[in-house]
Structure 1
Amino acid sequence: MNIYCFSGLGADKSVFQFLKIENARLHFVEWIAPMGNESLARYSQRLVSTLDLQPPYVFMGVSFGGMIALEASKITDPENIFLVSSAQSSLEIPVLFRLLERTKLYKIIPCILFRTPNCFVHSLFGASSINEKKLLNEIVRNTEVKFLKWAFGAIVNWIPKETRKAVRIHGTKDRIIPLRAQNISLRISGGSHLLIVRNANEVSEFISALL
């Protein structure tokens, strides 16, 4: 089975490095530059058109990548979609984030602050071990701020026209996309927004059993 992996904002294939999914080949999707203020749906259509999809295949998206995977699945036909620490609509995004977009405050924050790792970011993402903090620090430092600011606006304005059924994996301690009444396939007790790293074995076993 081919698994096309969509990473989170600012992240790359490194977030998938601890997965060990049986009988699967992982393909890591590279982001393309957004065009102006295009929607999440339009961006996803352009992105998926650059991929050489090899059947049989499924999509797996982490955080922001899960939203992209959902939109991309509407114009392709993956056998399944795995959403890890992700959302199925902007309604699942915390009110604070939507408020920041409405006031446009994030647009005037200096770029250097987006690339500066700190204790608040570690806490927000649930990074506690030395290795988790090291990985998160690297992601933060390599973040393309222009892309990040576009994505932030696109996410909070995202209203899917239809919702495709997906397999959802989520941590009970996720502070970025908190659990509410979502229909979750696998709830990982104590799992943070970085469960793709800390709980890689549980995620791998669960996905392997469904392929």
Structure 2
Amino acid sequence: MAIESSPPLILLSGLAADSRIFGPQKLAFPRLQCLPWLSPTRGESLDRYAQRMAASLGDGPCVIGGASFGGIVSLHMARYLNVQAVVLIGSVKSPAELPLYARCARPFRFLIPLIPVRLMQILARPFTQSGIRRLAPFTHGLACQFCDADPSVFKWSLARILDWSSSPAVLCPVFHIHGDRDWTLPVRHTSPNVVVTGGGHVLTLTHAKEVNSFLDAILAKLAK
């Protein structure tokens, strides 16, 4: 894959997910760093949170990106880092690219604190059993990540998606890969560089070969 002279690759997972979403990428890119989510402070803005996330990294050049909500956060983090490129995987570049259901839900974001995340995690627990892993490994993996998610991070992330009002000015190239069957963030609302045929919202797992090739081409280009 990418040669040693390419900049470090840093990726953020999406809502209710963690580094396991990038399992195939960690195998292909040994230098890949998957950032864990920090606990948000009360009422913390997206930009302030991104600044705190960026503070945990060094000053050297890097490529940062993420899947879904992680891509949105990476755009804001790019303001505070020496970023050579931003990579969006099944994500969007601006609030205008969010689907209609997200925009319609904005007036109801005050209800987010009432979401029973713990109860939802208990209800999802049966899908984390070993029997499900054998029969439906993809469902099992997503259920495990959701059950392990921090409810406070989940609620904060959902609120920031709904009140996202402006995208930051990014002074580096933005590369975007998206699935044509992504029902969470439909491709028709955005303009990716690469559209993966048959790809859904979790491209890193379902279409790892295409995502890895996409990332490898970007890193190789930046290494020149």
TM-score band w.r.t. shorter chain: 0.7 to 0.9
Which residue is equivalent to 1:206?
Answer: 214
Q: Once the two structures are superposed, what CA deviation does each residue of 1:48-105 show, in whole Å capped at 9, x if it has no partner? A: 112235x342112111110111000012121111100111122222232333342233
Matched, 1:48 2:59: no
Which residue is equivalent to 2:124?
Answer: 117
Alignment counterpart, residue 100 of structure 2, candidates 92, 95, 104: 95
Alignment counterpart, residue 168 of structure 2, candidates 158, 162, 170: 162
Q: Secondary structure at the match of 2:53?
A: helix
1:201 aligned partner, one-letter code: K
Matched, 1:84 2:89: yes
Rg: which structure is higher?
Answer: 2
TM-score by length of 2: 0.81
State how many pairs are aligned.
Answer: 199
**Unmatched 5+ stretches in structure 2:** 1-6, 126-134, 220-224
Matched, 1:63 2:68: yes
Q: What RMSD over aligned residues (CA atoms) do the two structures have, in Å?
A: 2.0
Q: Once the 2 structures are TM-superposed, how far is the Cα of residue 195 of structure 1 from its aligned partner?
A: 0.9
Alignment counterpart, residue 108 of structure 1, candidates 104, 114, 137: 114
Q: Secondary structure at the match of 2:63?
A: strand
Distance 1:152 1:188 in 2: 26
Taking a change above 3 Å as real, the CA distance of residues 97 and 114 of structure 1, as seen in their structure-2 partners, is farther
2:104 aligned partner, one-letter code: L
